[in-house]
Amino acid sequence: MTIQDLENQFTSGLYTKRPIAIVRGSGAHLWDSDENEYIDCVGGQGAGNLGHANPAVAVAIAAQAQTLISCPEMFYNDKRAMLIQKLISIAPPSIRRVYLCNSGTEAVEAAIKFARVATGRKEIVAAMRGFHGRTLGALSATWEKKYREPFEPLVPGFKHVAYNDLSALREAVTDQTAGVILEVVQGEGGVRPGTPEFLLGAQTVCRERGAMLIVDEVQTGFGRTGKMFACEHHGLEPDLVALAKSIAGGLPMGATLIGERIGQLPPQVHGSTFGGNPLVSAASLAAIEFLESNDLPERAKVIGDWFIGELRKIESPLIREVRGLGLMVGIELKQKVTPYLQALMSKGVLALPAGLTVMRFLPPLVIEKEDLERVVEVVKEVLADEIKVAAMPGE
């Protein structure tokens, strides 16, 4: 029986899977069970910024696994203590404290709860095309109908305004608003960078009306956009920041950074069994040290600018726009993207969609320029071919 058959027997059925079984990785390369090699621009959907089988992360995990894995926050722990100090040292200057959890949606969920408890208000303003996760609170902030509708009614009190429309945001935020939640670059929504006027304006509106600014850096964090956090591009000083994906070199972990305006949280109102366990804390420390010592945010900027520039040179009537920041890059097509993603895969390049028409690239930040040169070539070839392949269902 193949790996695919075995997995298909009992998998939830929630995911539309590509037909290959990935069994091994190194840096920005992946191999399938037939030993086919791929250049990875899926990058674990953003969890793979440090590259596959990163030796610094692997060594830290192995050492910590032999020392201590479980240690709930009812006890102190050496690795957790070092990690939260590290996170504060790289966080925006408004940040004072850290809550550790296990995923992006949990980090957002906590941020929503903290904004509510700190303000005593209930309402949250989010953006159209925003994606913040799939647990009920985070899902209420997420825009896309297909994720929301099967699970309604969601949490009441959520409003969505057009992204980059400051006057709409100004109108939506009232004295009942607990928080405004925004991505600095919308990821799932199509790789759409926020304008400085909108993001800084949102911060001002929040300050004026007593609401909390929640920045979702789950996808943009840890060097992806050319800075450690995308907030730094605009000098944003959020009250809450949601982190996950590449925070622990690919291990499941999330964090909510808590700013000065949140103040003291009431004890025991929130928590997590696995949050801040020593294994992921050690992995995260190693991951952040690797990002810093290899200057990966700067590398993402330099190589990302070059990559975006090369993609913009491609002349194809299929391209509507190439956009991005650092190594978070999207090509918006004038038609559905799925057949083109499949064609890329058949030529050894893995990329992912962002909505129906955007081809998204989130390569590990360690990717070599030669690999990206190859990606540009393959994108050119694929957009020049007349695509006859069947679409991958649902992607």
Q: Which of 39, 141, 182, 218 binds ligand PLP (CB under 6 A)?
A: 218
Q: Which is nearer to ligand PLP, 56 or 218 (CB)?
A: 218
The residue assigned the tokens 């980059």 is 164
Per rule CB under 6 A, is residue 355 in the interface with ligand PLP?
no
Residue (104 or 238) nearer to ligand PLP, CB: 104
- The verdict on whether omega for the bond into residue 153 sits within 30 degrees of 0, i.e. cis, is yes
Interaction between residue 360 and ligand PLP (CB under 6 A):
no
By CB under 6 A, residue 103 contacts ligand PLP: yes
Residue number with CB closer to ligand PLP (91 or 214): 214
Contact call for residue 238 and ligand PLP (CB under 6 A): no
What span, in angstroms and rounded, lies between the C-alpha atoms of 366 and 368?
Answer: 6
Q: Which is nearer to ligand PLP, 49 or 105 (CB)?
A: 105
Which residues make Cβ contacts (< 8 Å) with residue 127, sequence separation at least 6?
143, 160, 161, 162, 163, 181, 182, 183, 186, 189
The least distance separating ligand PLP from the CB of residue 12, rounded to whole angstroms, comes to 15
Binding of ligand PLP at residue 256 (CB under 6 A)?
Answer: no
Interaction between residue 133 and ligand PLP (CB under 6 A): yes
Q: Is 39 a binder of ligand PLP (CB under 6 A)?
A: no
Minimum CB–partner distance for residue 271 and ligand PLP (Å):
18
> Quick check: 225 binds ligand PLP (CB under 6 A)?
no
Which one of 70-78, 126-134, 233-241, 386-394 is the stretch in contact with ligand PLP (CB under 6 A)?
A: 126-134
Residue type, 86: K
- For ligand PLP, the closer CB: 123 or 188: 188
Comparison of 179 and 339: residue with beta carbon closer to ligand PLP: 179
Any contact of residue 244 with ligand PLP (CB under 6 A)?
yes
**With binding defined as CB under 6 A, does residue 227 bind ligand PLP?**
no
As measured in angstroms, the least distance from the Cβ of 343 to ligand PLP is: 24
SS3 sequence of the chain: CCHHHHHHHHCCCCCCCCCCCEEEEEECEEEECCCCEEEECCHHHHCCCCCECCHHHHHHHHHHHCCCCCCCCCCCCHHHHHHHHHHHHHCCCCEEEEEEECCHHHHHHHHHHHHHHHHCCCEEEEECCCCCCCCHHHHHHCCCHHHHHHHCCCCCCEEEECCCCHHHHHHHCCCCEEEEEEECEECCCCCEECCHHHHHHHHHHHHHHCCEEEEECCCCCCCCCCCCCHHHHCCCCCCEEEECHHHHCCCCCEEEEEEHHHCCCCCCCCCCCCCCCHHHHHHHHHHHHHHHHCCHHHHHHHHHHHHHHHHHHCCCCCEEEEEEECCEEEEEECCCCHHHHHHHHHCCEECEEECCCEEEECCCCCCCHHHHHHHHHHHHHHHHCCCCCCCCCCC
Stretch that binds ligand PLP, among 165-173, 211-219, 325-333, 354-362 (CB under 6 A): 211-219
Total residues binding ligand PLP (CB under 6 A): 15
Task: Report if residue 304 touches ligand PLP, rule: CB under 6 A.
Answer: no
One-letter amino acid for residue 183 of the chain: E
Q: Return the residues of window 186-205 that contact ligand PLP according to CB under 6 A.
A: 187-188
User: Residue 118, interface with ligand PLP (CB under 6 A)?
Assistant: no
CB of 103 to ligand PLP, least distance (A): 4
Q: Which is nearer to ligand PLP, 32 or 188 (CB)?
A: 188
Cβ distance to ligand PLP smaller for residue 186 or 338? 186
Provide φ and ψ at 275, rounded to 5°. Answer: -50, 130
Please report whether residue 43 would count as binding ligand PLP according to CB under 6 A: no
Closest to ligand PLP by CB, 242 vs 308, is 242
Q: CB nearer to ligand PLP: give 119 or 256.
A: 256
Binding site for ligand PLP (CB under 6 A): 45, 103-105, 108, 131-133, 183, 187-188, 216, 218-219, 244
